[in-house]
Amino acid sequence: MTGYIMELHGKIGEFEDRQEKVKDIKEELKWFKKELMTLEEFNPKKKRVPFRGDIFTRLIKSGTFLLDDVIEYQLSIGINWITKDNRKQHWKLPMKTK
């Protein structure tokens, strides 16, 4: 019986940890959504906007360059995001400064 109780206790602990992680992710997404709402609309093929380093450093834990100019980002909320590297296009657009 003690083993069963300890197993249940362990599962409860895991569940509480997952609940806390969900709460943290919700808070992070709430912050991110608020920040996105402050950005002006733009067409990235026609216009550049200032880089938001605060958003990047808060959301991106790491990034890995893969084959064929693909970047895989590890996000702070526990998911991965894969995108195509478009650095070659950056020189074509004028830089916008604040």
* 31-61 pLDDT, tens digit each: 989 998 988 888 877 777 788 889 889 989 9
**Calpha distance 43→90 (Å, rounded):** 13
The pLDDT value given to residue 86: 64
Q: Which of 43, 64, 63, 60 is nearest to 52 (CA)?
A: 60
Please report the pLDDT score of residue 49 as a whole number. 78
CB within 8 Å of 84: residues ≥ 6 apart = 69, 70, 71
CA-CA distances (angstroms) from residue 29 to 72, 77, 80, 98?
Answer: 20, 8, 15, 26
Q: Look at 44 and 24; give whichever has higher pLDDT.
A: 24
* Owner of token pair 């940890």: 17
